[in-house]
Structure 1
Amino acid sequence: MASVGKLSGMFRALSSRNYRLFFVGQGISLIGTWMQQIALSWLVYRLTDSVFLLGAVTFSSQIPSFLLGPFAGVLADKFNRHKVLLITQALSMLQASTLAALVLTGNIEIWHVLALSAFLGTINGFDIATRQAFVVEMVERREDLSNAIALNSSLFNMARLVGPTIAGLLIAAVGEGLCILINAVSYIAVLASLLLMRLKPFERVQQERKVWQSLKDGFRYAFGFPPIRALIIIVALLSLFGMPFTVLLPVFARDILYGGANTLGYLMGASGFGALSGALFLAQRKSVIGLGKVIICTMLIFGLALIAFSFSKMLLLSLVLMLFSGFGMIVTMASCNTLLQTLVDDDKRGRVMSLYSTAFMGMAPIGSMLAGSVAEQIGVGYTLAGCGLLCAVSIIPFAVNRPKLRRMVQPIYERLGIVPEIATGLQSASNLTAPPEER
């Protein structure tokens, strides 16, 4: 009985009808998203044999999030988030359909990939921040919010486990085009789930402040409060130094492990399995007590796993190390997300979560371009080892400065009236969320 209760507690956010619809629709769509990502990476490397262009495609798909993310947060705080998501998901479907048509007809060129990746990146700049802020509207009970965030991570990484594996097999059998077409079709599921939701009537908050002033207020709020600033900086460093490993994986699959598209799928699947395990680990937690220690440990695990992977020439060992890297990466990211969602004021949620999205999606293209350029000079092995080392080292100042935030967090959560369990957890975890560097 205890195990049944624990299992039901792990999925307690699914008791909210709107979140349940979102969970199913998004799960189907994310499998397609991962299939397209693998297909696109393999297509670019097959067409160009260039590590630099692999990084350039990732840069073009993610740099718009860095530029537009903060403005997207203002939009998410001002407009109906549900309608914004309907628009962004429909546009994403259009992008995938166009890309699939070009690949299947044999007319695809690298400039098409770069242009369509930039278009999708622009859409995602608005979609990700809005979706992060929309979670609180779908969950009926505020105490289930942290569980919903953990389940989102579980969903994302279940798709990362399934999608690349299917994509690797399909690419080897029929080519990249079918994977991208499946992604286009999969958007029907998430659009249907959004249309079936029953939401409270949207009430526009009348704000006299202009967009630029709202943007400055969001920056001042987020970076003026050390606990929020610390979490955003951690995510930015992990994204800058750690995320480029996904860009370099096609090179490891083909040139170091001497495999094909299926090998790339296995590597991504192993990383996804580790990340799924990490997300489920977070989902079964009843509070945020100790998340600061978890962030330090998992950041180190991620960095060390990347260093070891960079020197591995055996597929089995590489798969095991990908599992650890996936676990470390997602637990760190999701823990930061959970703490941010519980720390932030509702009227600034969109802007703060857009900064989180900017740190997550916006720093990755810079890291990808740097990693691609360095890999051309010194090789992918040493490049990835350096990335792992930087991830591991970057968490040290965060750990050293951890005692500073207890005094800051405690009175704020007392004033906001957060439930005791969560308040206690944040007071404990806040010891570990000091910024990596004083800015």
Structure 2
Amino acid sequence: MNFLIYLISSATSLIGSQMQSIIIPIYILNITNSGMQMSKAATSFLVIRLLVTPFSGILADRFNRKHIMIISDICSFLVVGGFVSFISLTPDTIIFMQCILVAISAVFSSASSAIFSELTFKGSIERCNSVYGSMINFTYIFTPVVALSLYNFTSLKFIFTLNAVTFLLSACLESLLAYTFQERKLSRSNFSLKELTTSYTPVINYLMAKREILGVFSFAVLLNFFYNPVLVIFIPYFILKVLNLENTYVGYFESLWGGGLLLGSLLLVKYIKRYNFRSKIALFLIGQLTIFVFFFTGNNLMPLNIYLVAAGLLTVICALLNTFVNTPLFSYLHIVVDSHIKGRFFSFLQIFLQGITPLSYMLLGLILDRFTNISIAISLTSIVYIIAIFLYFHRSPIGRSYLLSNET
């Protein structure tokens, strides 16, 4: 029952957030017609998260994680409700509202990640994580279509109001979680830069002592540098500005991506104990990047209607492979990282993931505005990344140490 509550509350909050996060970049692109402006908005959100995440990890290790989740959702409800009720919704105010939500989300994410392995679940953490991924990925199937349909036929105010309601429902569900808070041995002095540094020093020492965990950590940062901007910026821009398709086609591909994530999660639930997914991660990634090359060049090789069908099928396969990469990696971290440091560990990971992403956002945004042949640019980037993956897992001792380590 505890796992079911956690599952439903997470999905409820995520549906509203997904709709808003899908619509805002498209709204900015439609207003400005600039990939760079789209990238600047995305970068602003990441910088806010980057600044808040270090403190959110300390909060998650110091205070009751369940209470942090509830308070975060209630604050998000009040922020969205307040903007919708009392402030005119312009591009600037929408971006400002989203910045506040991102800051709150950083606090929520640290607590949610840290509490996962402490809740009483029936079944292994890895299996529960796969089921959780299946439920979350299921929302990716219909949310983009619903979001863009609402965007085309209703108002932004209605969509934001719906998002506010999901935050409130999520908070109510989280209050039902059975969770026993264990007091942790951390000082309760006011936050300071010195305390921040001191609090994360054990995390750095922990990573230096754990070779396999450091391998996962460093590779996740490398992976995020490429994937996040491609999914958030490049694909919507390619569909709307290169293929000159309607907004609904963005929802079409994002829904197919969600279907692939769901299929991958279901396969993991069934075969996670019978197949060593971790040992094949390099092959899964190379398969994904090969698909990306076709996605951004295939429209030049065949009629548009055939391309859309082929690209849709490959999008499902690419998302499936993405699940085969991410779930084993993060399940591994949930299992092996010590509980007393888990909140700060995942926050430290988020600092690096989000710290590198603004650079990639700005780089790809510059490419979008400066180069006319986007297909060639993204294809070359993918090829370079394939080489990096090969070198990391087959030539780097730290990469090999993770793949060769025994399943936990």
1:358 to 329, 335, 351: 351
- Please give the alpha-carbon distance, in whole angstroms, between the structure 2 residues aligned to 1:305 and 1:171: 29
- Residue 346 of structure 1: how far off its partner (Å): 1.6
Structure 1 position 117 matched with structure 2 position 107: no
- Please give the alpha-carbon distance, in whole angstroms, between the structure 2 residues aligned to 1:159 and 1:336: 22
- Residue 164 of structure 1: how far off its partner (Å): 0.3
- Residue 208 of structure 1: how far off its partner (Å): 5.4
- Residue equivalent to 2:192: none
- Please give the alpha-carbon distance, in whole angstroms, between the structure 1 residues aligned to 2:352 and 2:130: 19
- Residue equivalent to 2:150: 170
- Please give the alpha-carbon distance, in whole angstroms, between the structure 2 residues aligned to 1:34 and 1:317: 26
The answer to whether the Cα contact below 8 Å between 2:73 and 2:168 also exists between their aligned partners in 1 is no
**TM-score, with length taken from structure 2:** 0.87
Q: Would the alpha carbon gap of residues 162 and 139 (structure 1) be closer, same or farther in structure 2, given more than 3 Å must change?
A: farther
- Residue equivalent to 2:32: 48
Q: Would the alpha carbon gap of residues 426 and 285 (structure 1) be closer, same or farther in structure 2, given more than 3 Å must change?
A: farther
5+ residue gaps, structure 2: 189-194, 300-306
Structure 1 position 90 matched with structure 2 position 70: no
Q: Would the alpha carbon gap of residues 247 and 402 (structure 1) be closer, same or farther in structure 2, given more than 3 Å must change?
A: same
Count of paired positions: 393
- Residue equivalent to 1:319: 312
1:72 to 53, 56, 70: 56
The answer to whether the Cα contact below 8 Å between 1:257 and 1:315 also exists between their aligned partners in 2 is no
Deviations 1:348-391 (A, max 9, x none): 11122223333444433332222112211114433432443344
Q: Would the alpha carbon gap of residues 71 and 114 (structure 1) be closer, same or farther in structure 2, given more than 3 Å must change?
A: same
- Residue equivalent to 2:342: 349
Q: Would the alpha carbon gap of residues 158 and 109 (structure 1) be closer, same or farther in structure 2, given more than 3 Å must change?
A: same
Q: Would the alpha carbon gap of residues 322 and 48 (structure 1) be closer, same or farther in structure 2, given more than 3 Å must change?
A: same
5+ residue gaps, structure 1: 1-16, 410-424, 431-439
- Residue equivalent to 2:185: 206
Structure 1 position 338 matched with structure 2 position 331: yes
In structure 2, what residue type is equivalent to 1:132?
A: S
Deviations 1:266-323 (A, max 9, x none): 1111111111222222222343962322321222122122121111323222222322
The answer to whether the Cα contact below 8 Å between 2:71 and 2:171 also exists between their aligned partners in 1 is no
- Please give the alpha-carbon distance, in whole angstroms, between the structure 2 residues aligned to 1:192 and 1:260: 37
- Residue 255 of structure 1: how far off its partner (Å): 2.2
In structure 2, what residue type is equivalent to 1:121?
A: V
**TM-score, with length taken from structure 1:** 0.81
2:245 to 245, 252, 259: 259
The answer to whether the Cα contact below 8 Å between 2:393 and 2:399 also exists between their aligned partners in 1 is no
The answer to whether the Cα contact below 8 Å between 2:119 and 2:178 also exists between their aligned partners in 1 is no
- Residue 78 of structure 1: how far off its partner (Å): 1.5
Q: Would the alpha carbon gap of residues 176 and 191 (structure 1) be closer, same or farther in structure 2, given more than 3 Å must change?
A: same
- Residue equivalent to 1:222: 207
- Residue 157 of structure 1: how far off its partner (Å): 1.7
- Residue equivalent to 1:20: 4
- Please give the alpha-carbon distance, in whole angstroms, between the structure 2 residues aligned to 1:177 and 1:257: 29
The answer to whether the Cα contact below 8 Å between 1:371 and 1:383 also exists between their aligned partners in 2 is no
The answer to whether the Cα contact below 8 Å between 1:89 and 1:191 also exists between their aligned partners in 2 is yes
- Please give the alpha-carbon distance, in whole angstroms, between the structure 2 residues aligned to 1:343 and 1:71: 23
Structure 1 position 367 matched with structure 2 position 345: no
1:400 to 355, 380, 394: 394
The answer to whether the Cα contact below 8 Å between 1:62 and 1:362 also exists between their aligned partners in 2 is yes
